[in-house]
Structure 1
Amino acid sequence: MSSTTVLRSANEAPEARGGIDLVLDIASAAARFGLAFMWIYSGYTKLGAHLDVTKSIEAYEIFTPYWSDLLARVIGPLEIAGGLLLLLGIKLRWAGGVSIAVLAAFIVGLYSAYSRGLTIDCGCFNPGGSGDAQPGELLRAIVRDFGLIAVTAFMMWRPFRKYALYP
């Protein structure tokens, strides 16, 4: 097979490459843009809710009040920044790696609270929510975050580079 044939097949439209490639492209696009939306939405809910975010972080009983306050100030903007990197397609694999690291840190915090029997609202998408957390909520959040890690790993393995500024 000549190099021209290899280049041509790599640059062909997804329909010409086969159905499985089209499915993987669609799944990768859904992963990238879905994760971007999730991070942007999560960060947006934390903007302007500094006190609620601080209380959510303090409820985990891991950080001192100073560190809880500091994290509450930076977590929302950082989540938005990560979502924008994915949305705009800037360093997709690097952004995915950071996303996995953050999700892993969230899992550690959630598991710490769960293992100590704390019944708290995780504060992930609704800081200062109802306050009436169900006992299994932390476990569901852990499972959800493992699912998000799997989606992120897929997106890193096969990044959707179309519409990406700097993949």
Structure 2
Amino acid sequence: MLDVISAIARFYMAYVWISAGVVKLNDHMNMTQAITAYEIFTPYWSDLLARLIGPLEIAGGVLLLLGIFLRPASKVAAGVMILFIIGVGQAWLRGLGIDCGCFTIEPNLDQQAMDYFVTILRDLAFLALTLWTVYRPFRRFAIYP
């Protein structure tokens, strides 16, 4: 049973990272606006992060999918998830009406902003799956466990 949980955690998080990164690849302007909306980074850093986040998410997902450096890749992914949770949480506390830019990028919302509570809960679930992979990686089908 633990192997099943480990397999689900590893492959589902690979899917999450790859699908999140693919959305960001060809939408640089909207991604920059989504990052700028957090009001944390300067325009220069928002632009740089918009260029880097998508490819890095895809790379992390591929590492999990192929089983290359499972524990180190999962530790980095856990750190990134914590940063995402902090970013969304600070936007919520400051009353910013933004889109997180996670799986769809709509920085100029005509409706209300995202549901911060649900987004943080989702990210906490992703963090739990990622930490499970750190604790007990699914090594079957791994190139380098």
TM-score bracket for the superposition, by shorter chain length: over 0.9
Give the deviation of 1:136 after TM superposition: 5.8
Give the deviation of 1:135 after TM superposition: 5.0
1:53 corresponds, among 31, 35, 38, to 31
**2 CA distance for matches of 1:32 and 1:123?**
23
Letter in 2 for 1:144: R
Question: CA distance change for structure 1 residues 113 and 129 in 2, over 3 Å: closer, same or farther?
Answer: closer
Other-structure match for 2:52: 74
- Matched-pair contact (CA < 8 Å) for 2:25–2:54: yes
Residue 154 of structure 1 pairs with residue 132 of structure 2: yes
What SS is found at the alignment partner of 1:43? helix
Q: What do residues 102-136 of structure 1 show as CA deviations (whole Å, max 9, x unaligned)?
A: 00111111111000011111110001267245456
Report sequence identity in percent.
Answer: 54
Scaled by the length of structure 1, the TM-score of the pair is: 0.83
Residue 27 of structure 1 pairs with residue 5 of structure 2: yes
Structure 1: where are the runs of 5+ without partners? 1-22
Question: CA distance change for structure 1 residues 59 and 75 in 2, over 3 Å: closer, same or farther?
Answer: same
Pairs within 5 Å for 1:1-167: 23-128=1-106, 131-132=109-110, 134=112, 137-167=115-145
What SS is found at the alignment partner of 1:118? coil
Scaled by the length of structure 2, the TM-score of the pair is: 0.95
Q: What do residues 19-74 of structure 1 show as CA deviations (whole Å, max 9, x unaligned)?
A: xxxx1111110110000000000000001100010010011111111100000000
More contact order relative to length (CA 8 Å, sep ≥ 6): 2
**2 CA distance for matches of 1:40 and 1:53?**
16
- Matched-pair contact (CA < 8 Å) for 1:50–1:72: yes
Letter in 1 for 2:50: A
Give the deviation of 1:154 after TM superposition: 1.1
**2 CA distance for matches of 1:70 and 1:154?**
31
What SS is found at the alignment partner of 2:48? helix
Structure 2: where are the runs of 5+ without partners? none
**2 CA distance for matches of 1:111 and 1:133?**
20
- Matched-pair contact (CA < 8 Å) for 1:121–1:138: no
**2 CA distance for matches of 1:28 and 1:119?**
36
Q: What do residues 74-100 of structure 1 show as CA deviations (whole Å, max 9, x unaligned)?
A: 000000000000000011010110000
- Matched-pair contact (CA < 8 Å) for 1:89–1:161: yes
